[in-house]
Amino acid sequence: MVSNLQWLQVVPGRQLCLALASMDDVKVPLALGLAVAGAFFLVRNAYSGPNLDSIPTVGPSGSVSSYLGAFRYIFHAKEMFQEGYERYPSSMFRVALIDRWSVLVSGKQLVEEIAYAREEDLSFHQSTNEFLQTGYTLGRGIERDPYHPTVIRTSLSRNVGNRFPDVRDEIVCSLSELLPLTDDEWMAVPAYDTMMQVICRTSNRFFVGLPLCRNPDYLALNIGVAMDVVVKAQLINFLPAFLRPTFGPLISSLKSNMRRASKHLTPLVAERLKKMDELGKDWPGKPNDLITWLIDGAEGDELSLNALVQRVIFVNFAAIRTTTDTFTHLLFDLAANPSYIAPLRAEVELIVGAEGWTKASIGKMHQLDSFLRESQRFHGIGTQSLGRKVVNPNGFTFSDGTTLPPGAYLHATTWSLHHDPALYPDPHVFDGFRFSKLRAAEEVGAAKHQAVTTSLGYLAFGHGQHACPGRHFATVEMLGILAHIVLNYDVKLPNDEGRPPNQYIASACIPHASAKVAFRKRQN
C-alpha cells in the first residue's frame, strides 16, 4: 500500500517476460501481434491529443524527433526530470512518451494545487484506471466504485493496533521458515523474492487471517497478480480503444485469477454474508478483518460474492507490490550501511524490553522510523507521483496562469524534489538518522518527520486527498519487519559487495530483482 499506484505504469522487461510466459500458447502470439499493431496505431496517432505546445519541453519536441525523447524517457526519465526541475523551477515542463506527452510539475505551490484539486478537475482515479486498465485486469467493479480507499483509510487503519499481535506473529513465523538458520552460518537469499513472501503472508494475516494467509496457492496467486497486472495493462494500452473490448479480456488474466481466488475466498465471504443475513450486521463473533470491513463498506452490487472476492484481490495487489519494492530498497540500505545496525538494535531492545511488541512501541522507535523515511526519500519507488488526468471540459488553470487542456496527464517530480538541497541538506548523502535528529531538535510539530507523514516536500506516499490510504498499516508492517530483523539477525551483502544498483525504467526505481542479502542468527 505504498504510494498511490501511479508508478505501476512502468513495464520492466523481466516482468514482461514473466507475464508472457504465464500465457497459454494461443495468447502469446495474439498479445504480441496486437501489441505491435497497437504500437503502430499509437505512433500514427500520437500527439494528436491535447495541445500542449505552450508547455516547454525537455528533449526533442518535433513530430518525429520527439520519439527520440520518448526512447530516452524509457531509460533516463530520472535525468530528464532533473533537467526540467532545474530549468523550470516552480513551473512545469513536458516529456514525450511513446503515445502522448506527460506534464511534470515542480515547485511547492503547483504541487499543492495538484494534491488538493477536485476529482472533477484533476482525476486520480481515471488516470490510474487508464494506466492499469482496471476494468480488464482487476474488474469492472473496482473501476466503477472505488469505495475501498475509504475502507482502508478508516476500518483497516483503525484496527492496526488491535491486530498487531497477529501481524507480529506472522513476521516471526515467515522469517523463521524462509531463513532456516543454524548456529553461526550465513545464508544468502534473494532479497526481493524473500521479502515479497514475508509481506504477502504478513499482509494476509491482517487481511484474511489463518490458515489462508499461509496457503501456498493463495500466496502464489496474490504474488502473481502483483507481478502480472501491470504488464497485461500495458499490452492492452497498446491497443487502440476500439479494439480493447474485444481483445482486452483475451490478454487479461482476470478470469483465471478470479476462478483461483474464488476457490479460496468464496467460502469465507459466503459464510460472512450468511451470518449477516441471519444475525444482523453486528453479529456476535464477527471477525475483525478485511472481508468484514469490505462487507460493511459495500453497497448494492458490490455486496455480491464475486465483487467482494475481486476487492480482496485488488487490495492485495495494491499492498504487496509497492510494499515489497519499498522494503527491498530498505533492506539493501541496511545491508550496505552496517554501522546503523547497532544503534537500531539498541533502540529496539530498549523499547521492546520496556513495553513489548505493540503498535505503540513501534511508534516510539524514532531512529528506525527515520531509517525508513530516509530510504524512501533516497530510493523512492517512483521518480514521479501525484498522477492526474485533466477531466474538466474547460481544462485546469494553475495559479501561475498556465492552463492544461482536458485529456492532459500530469505528475509531480518526486525524485528531484527529494534530492533538492534547498529542502534536504546534503541530499545525495544517505543519512539514516536524518529525520530522527530533526524530531529530537523540534519540540513542536516533530510528527511531520515521521515516515507516515506526507508533505509538499515529501511525496513517497503521495499527498493531499489521494495520499496513500494504507500508509499507516504499510509503515507499521515494514517497521515491524525491520525491527525483528535488526534484533534477531546479522545482515550483510554477500562478498562485501556494494549496494545492488537500482533499475530505473521510465518513472520507476526498481530494486535489483535478483540481488541477494546474507543473514545469520545474531551472534552477540
480-511, pLDDT tens digit by residue? Answer: 999 999 999 999 999 878 999 999 988 999 99
The predicted pLDDT at position 43 comes to 53
The predicted pLDDT at position 33 comes to 54
Q: Is residue 1 part of a domain?
A: no
The predicted pLDDT at position 18 comes to 43
On whether 468 is known to bind a ligand per the annotation, the reply is yes
- Residue 129 exposure: Cα atoms within 13 Å on the Cβ side: 15
Q: Is residue 293 part of a domain?
A: yes
The predicted pLDDT at position 6 comes to 44
The amino acid occupying position 187 is: M
Q: Would you state the cell numbers that stand for residue 151, as one nine-digit string?
A: 475502507
The predicted pLDDT at position 502 comes to 94
Q: Is residue 196 part of a domain?
A: yes
Within 337-426, residue ranges assigned H as helices are 341-355, 359-363, 366-378, 414-418
Distances (CA, A) of 292 to 239, 281, 308: 38, 10, 10
CATH number, domain of 253, equals 1.10.630.10
Q: Is residue 201 part of a domain?
A: yes
The β-bridge relationship of strands 503-505 and 508-510 is antiparallel
The β-bridge relationship of strands 409-412 and 101-105 is parallel
The predicted pLDDT at position 215 comes to 98
Q: Is residue 305 part of a domain?
A: yes
CA separation for the pair 483, 345 (Å, rounded): 8
**Partners of residue 388 on adjacent β-strands:** 410
The predicted pLDDT at position 37 comes to 52
What is the DSSP annotation of 61-87? Answer: -STTTHHHHHHHHHHHHHHHHHHHHHH
Which are the contacts of 87, defined by CB distance < 8 A and separation ≥ 6? 56, 58, 93
The predicted pLDDT at position 442 comes to 86
Q: Is residue 514 part of a domain?
A: yes
The predicted pLDDT at position 26 comes to 42
The predicted pLDDT at position 160 comes to 97
Q: Is residue 409 part of a domain?
A: yes
The predicted pLDDT at position 30 comes to 53
Within 116-163, residue ranges assigned H as helices are 124-132, 134-137, 140-144, 148-151, 157-158
User: What pTM did the predictor assign?
Assistant: 0.91
Q: How many domains are there within the chain?
A: 1
> 10 Å Cβ neighbour count for 480?
22
Q: Is residue 100 part of a domain?
A: yes
Q: Would you state the cell numbers that stand for residue 418, as one nine-digit string?
A: 527529494
Helix axes 471-488, 305-336, angle to 10 degrees: 40
Structural domain that includes position 95: 6-521
Rounded mean pLDDT for each run of 10 residues along the chain, 524 residues in total: 46 44 47 53 56 90 80 92 95 90 94 96 95 94 93 96 98 98 93 98 98 98 92 88 92 95 97 92 91 95 95 95 96 97 98 97 98 98 95 96 96 96 97 96 86 96 95 98 98 91 92 96 88
DSSP 12: -
Environment class of residue 342 by beta-carbon count within 10 Å: exposed (0-12), middle (13-18) or buried (19+)? Answer: exposed
> 10 Å Cβ neighbour count for 427?
18
The predicted pLDDT at position 208 comes to 97
